[in-house]
Structure 1
Amino acid sequence: MKRIIALVLAIVLCTAMFAGCQKAPAPAPAPSESGSSSAPPVEEKKPVELTVVTSYSADDGNRGNYENAYKAYEAASGNKVKDASGTSNEEWKAKIMADFETGAEPDILFYFSGVDANKLVESGKVVSIEEIRKVYPDYASNMKEEMMGKSPVDGKNYSVPVNGYWEGLFVNKKVLADCGVAVPGADYTWDQFMKDCKTIADKGYTPIACSLQEVPHYWFEFSTFNFGTVANHATLPTSSSDEAGKAWVSGLNDIKALYEAGFFPKNTTTAGDAETFQLMADNKAAFAIDGSWKIGWFQENAASVDDFTVTYVPAKNDRKATDMIGGLSMGYYITKKAWDDPAKQAACVDFVKAMTTDDVVSTFGATAVTALKNGTTAPANADSLVTAALAMTKGATGVAPAAQDLLNQAARNAMFADVKNVVTGKTTAEASIDATLAIKG
């Protein structure tokens, strides 16, 4: 009996031990390097506010496109954009530089490349694309490296371009028709232009909508281009008597001839750009030189965009009318201050990437010069003005960068402020240019 009881107890004991083995707890997770046995909780990403300064002010033709793009970024990211955009003029540039000097710079800046940004690069206030790619390798990967605008300071790229630009002759077809003047074509000469302006003036219209007080630089650019070539236009003179200097003198004197003939608005030396350019939309002026960004202005302000077209600026000497001014002069910078802020760094990178996708860039300037590897896509519902711009850029025989961009800001301010004095005879073109070149930035 004792043997039977012992056997039963042995069986029960083994059964219990077997059951215990089956229910043994899983081994504890291996401790982390810090010694903790559980992973730290994932910290929720908090929305941030980015201060962004651009030139897409209320009077810019791309303002609507800019707002749509940054609001789409806000919706997708949960972040907020504090927009501090202003009109791209010398006062705006000066304010931006002052903000950087006082530590009040934005997180992201849409600004000029080239000489204008030298101080920002020299002082280490903006981050190079090379440095950004060490952390975010695909940053600006949809752009052509050679077209992103290397800094003259160190040869590195700092800004990611959106819309390139071209400058051309906007034409009020309604005014020309009333004057019996043909719309200029690809072989339009300066002599023909002068004759047409006389006909238009005699009919009671203003031939050229322009403020020599505020924006004489478009006419300066092409007037000097008419005494050079695509190859040598972007050459900074050393004085008014060297080859480039003589071209600048001749160009300024051609603007003076236009003024003396009465082809500019009567208030051209005192009125602002908004007032004088409105003459185009009001069907009171025939011609205006401006950039690709102005297409949006006509689309918003003209009673009918079909009353306008854009074509080549009249040519003189060796320059063909189909030789244009254009390039990629502006782009998005990430400031060093924002880059060094852990809460903002990734948000800044994502913002610039969102603003420079192929689709967004195409909405800003389908007709413009572009750095996109895939090129821009023309809108399916392109109006007649956009179609004319596409035809013009396609027919260009050469594209030269703007010569004014070679000047430092102080010199450029002085020269363009002096244009009204040149045309009114208060100073000479030679004296104005020599004074400009004497200004060191």
Structure 2
Amino acid sequence: MKRKSLVAMLVVFAMSVSLLAGCGSKTEKPAETTKKTEESKGDAKAAEPTEITVVTSYGGDDGNRQNYENAVASYQEATGNTVMDASATSNEEWKAKVLTDFETGTEPDVLFFFTNADAEPFIEAGKVVDIATIRETYPEYADNMKDSMMAAAADGKNYAVPSSGFWENMFVNKKVLADCNIEVPGPDYTWDQFLADCQTIKDKGYTPIAVSLFEVPHYWFEFVLMNNGTMANQLEVPAVDADGKLVEDTVSEKWVNGLNDMKDLYEKGFFPENTLTAKDADTVQLFAEGEAAFLIDGSWKVGHFVDNYADQLEDYAISYVPAKGERKATEALGGISMGYFITKKAWDDPAKQAAAVAFVEHMTSDEIMSTFVTTEVTALKNGASPEGLNSLQQSAADANNNITGITGAVQDTITSECKTDLFANIQHVVTGEMTAEEAIASAIALN
């Protein structure tokens, strides 16, 4: 989930808030955009058909998988090119495989990937082409995007054309809450109220919080950090001294207190009994089928519920992660963390260069982006034009309208080695096998 400048990040997040509030409105696509699309299709059709390999996170269980397949099909029809798709579900294993492919020279022609520190290894290795270089040959490349919302790499250059962005917040199962005589949390929801509600839910025989600490502890990690600090200092990272000992300051204190809050939730029995071994799909199903009340996840999960639980959408709503300390419940996580990269391998291949450029332009066009967007953030100059929203999507839009602040995830600023170590050790912290201080020091030593 970047080594961006602070100014650039603030611009992105400020724009994200306004986009979240207005993304439901439908706008007409300008005539010149339509004209350009048709012209580019004509040019591409005239070129000799070729085959490109593409890797994305739109795996089979992704809520946008069908939209992705439709977009690929329309690209192939318009250009005559063939897409060899190797997409899979986004998780740490998938990220590791992508990086390994670059190291072994088996990278794809086009990659849809995270634009943060996770991308730095192949950027630093010169394996992808920056947008400025592409525009020297294709001046209109990504010109429908706001450059200010493109992620900047450590070298200050933009490499990825941004796709739709994300928000992270709390999903609630209204049916479970109703059975427990608990109201759907509002924008002033506090941590103390949350703990009391969780106890009531547990006493009623339900699981209060659906989460897999084995596979996706990071959603809760980000919010417990913010609850022990502020939105303004969310991206600050602890330090270790020359001896590898955690430096004691306000940043490390925030991280320690956050992990201890997760430990407290575990000890109170508010997580699933199998939270240390269950996969994300298992705990999401627990929530979806009315056995758990709360789930912290992202905007992408809306599509999952729409596709898999269409007849139960009225049971779900988007609410607010309970607030503690200085944080308000209306302060959330969000931004645009993924985009399309063109690899140097494809760029240097005369037969594939134009096909790869055309693919990215197609996938990030106003028309195609609008099929992926419901309530997500985008960098489109003209905004997205999604169709009518269902009840869950409308709930997300309503919650987003109350958002008073948005920031990125601190996990996006640390190395993959640091992140992997930290999230693996969260299990040891909640079970008491390791202290929060030890877990943080172990991870930061790898940053």
In the alignment, which residue of structure 2 is the partner of 1:412? 419
| Aligned counterparts of 2:108 and 2:403: Cα–Cα separation in 1 | 38
SS at match of 1:204: coil
Matched, 1:62 2:64: yes
In the alignment, which residue of structure 1 is the partner of 2:321? 313
Matched, 1:252 2:262: no
Of 147, 150, 154 in structure 1, the residue corresponding to residue 149 of structure 2 is 147
The 5-angstrom pairing of residues 240-319 of structure 1 reads: 240=246, 241-302=248-309, 303-319=311-327
In the alignment, which residue of structure 2 is the partner of 1:226? 227
In the alignment, which residue of structure 2 is the partner of 1:190? 191
In the alignment, which residue of structure 1 is the partner of 2:338? 330
Cα shift at 1:392: 1.7
| Aligned counterparts of 1:390 and 1:359: Cα–Cα separation in 2 | 21
SS at match of 2:295: strand
| Aligned counterparts of 2:339 and 2:88: Cα–Cα separation in 1 | 15
> Does the aligned pair in 2 maintain the 1:53–1:83 contact within 8 Å?
yes
In the alignment, which residue of structure 2 is the partner of 1:176? 177
| Aligned counterparts of 2:387 and 2:230: Cα–Cα separation in 1 | 33
In the alignment, which residue of structure 2 is the partner of 1:399? 406
CA RMSD of superposed structures (Å): 1.3
Give 1:313's aligned amino acid: V
Identity of aligned residues (%): 57
Cα shift at 1:295: 0.3
SS at match of 1:304: helix
Of 373, 376, 382 in structure 1, the residue corresponding to residue 384 of structure 2 is 376
| Aligned counterparts of 1:311 and 1:141: Cα–Cα separation in 2 | 35
Matched, 1:422 2:423: no
SS at match of 1:331: strand
In the alignment, which residue of structure 2 is the partner of 1:40? none
| Aligned counterparts of 1:248 and 1:387: Cα–Cα separation in 2 | 34
Give 1:376's aligned amino acid: A
In the alignment, which residue of structure 2 is the partner of 1:214? 215
The 5-angstrom pairing of residues 26-105 of structure 1 reads: 45-105=47-107
With the length of structure 1 as denominator, give the TM-score of the two structures. 0.88
| Aligned counterparts of 1:68 and 1:306: Cα–Cα separation in 2 | 27
Cα shift at 1:80: 1.0
| Aligned counterparts of 1:50 and 1:311: Cα–Cα separation in 2 | 42
Cα shift at 1:44: 6.8
The structure having more radius of gyration, on CA atoms, is 1
* TM-aligned CA distance change 1:119 to 1:181, over 3 Å: same
| Aligned counterparts of 2:46 and 2:92: Cα–Cα separation in 1 | 43
SS at match of 2:428: helix
* TM-aligned CA distance change 1:73 to 1:383, over 3 Å: same
SS at match of 1:414: helix
> Does the aligned pair in 2 maintain the 1:52–1:108 contact within 8 Å?
yes
Cα shift at 1:301: 2.0
> Does the aligned pair in 2 maintain the 1:162–1:364 contact within 8 Å?
no
In the alignment, which residue of structure 1 is the partner of 2:36? none
| Aligned counterparts of 1:293 and 1:277: Cα–Cα separation in 2 | 13
> Does the aligned pair in 2 maintain the 1:148–1:160 contact within 8 Å?
yes
Deviates more, 1:352-361 or 1:131-140: 352-361
SS at match of 2:158: coil
Cα shift at 1:388: 1.1
Give 1:175's aligned amino acid: V
Give 1:67's aligned amino acid: E
Instruction: Please identify runs of 4+ aligned residues in structure 1 that moved more than 6 A.
Output: none
Give 1:281's aligned amino acid: A
> Does the aligned pair in 2 maintain the 1:161–1:328 contact within 8 Å?
yes
| Aligned counterparts of 2:424 and 2:69: Cα–Cα separation in 1 | 32
> Does the aligned pair in 2 maintain the 1:322–1:398 contact within 8 Å?
yes
Cα shift at 1:282: 1.2
Cα shift at 1:435: 0.5
Bigger RCO of structures 1 and 2 (CA < 8 A, at least 6 apart): 2
Of 344, 354, 360 in structure 1, the residue corresponding to residue 352 of structure 2 is 344
Matched, 1:120 2:131: no
CA offset digits 1:98-126 (Å, max 9, x no partner): 11111100000001112111111111000
Give 2:220's aligned amino acid: W
Q: Structure 1 unaligned runs (5+)? A: 1-42
CA offset digits 1:270-327 (Å, max 9, x no partner): 1111111110121101110000000011112224111101121111111111111001
> Does the aligned pair in 2 maintain the 1:293–1:365 contact within 8 Å?
no
> Does the aligned pair in 2 maintain the 1:298–1:305 contact within 8 Å?
yes
| Aligned counterparts of 1:419 and 1:269: Cα–Cα separation in 2 | 10
In the alignment, which residue of structure 2 is the partner of 1:16? none
Deviates more, 1:78-87 or 1:369-378: 369-378
With the length of structure 2 as denominator, give the TM-score of the two structures. 0.87
CA offset digits 1:78-98 (Å, max 9, x no partner): 111111011111111111111
